[in-house]
């Protein structure tokens, strides 16, 4: 039977690994997205509002930290890197870049995008 192809044990293991790793990566992406939302939603009342600026920096820092952990989980183990695919790198890289831009703009005293 030439038309039928059986899945090898390696393919089945990669599929199982993909599902097992998708749960913690998805949770980390949700945590990072929440803290990015917090960092973008906080609006300082003025240049004197140091608590708001500290909240923005903390939200950005936590976003970058969660995204760094997600990237490490995706990239470092070779078996995970082969099983997950490159599209799992897009959310942490995009959220990390937005958080870094917000952090830099707040650190320069510009107040960010608001």
* pLDDT per residue as tens digits for the range 6-49: 655 555 556 677 778 888 889 999 999 999 999 999 998 888 88
Calpha distance 71→56 (Å, rounded): 22
Its pTM stands at 0.79
How far is residue 60 from each of residues 8, 74, 92, 104, measured CA to CA in Å? 43, 21, 13, 10
Torsion of CA 93, 94, 96, 102, to 10 degrees: 160
Domain ranges (residues) in the chain: 31-41+49-114
């Amino acid at each position: 039977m030439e038309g039928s192809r059986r899945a090898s044990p390696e393919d089945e293991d990669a599929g199982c690994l993909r599902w097992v790793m998708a749960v913690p990566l998805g949770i980390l992406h949700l945590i990072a997205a929440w803290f990015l939302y917090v960092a973008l939603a906080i609006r300082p009342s003025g240049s004197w509002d140091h608590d708001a600026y500290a909240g923005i920096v903390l939200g950005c820092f936590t976003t970058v930290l969660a995204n760094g952990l997600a990237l490490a989980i995706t990239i470092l183990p070779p078996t995970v890197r082969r099983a997950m695919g490159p599209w799992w790198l897009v959310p942490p890289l995009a959220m990390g870049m937005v958080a870094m831009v917000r952090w830099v703009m707040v650190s320069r005293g510009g107040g960010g995008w608001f």
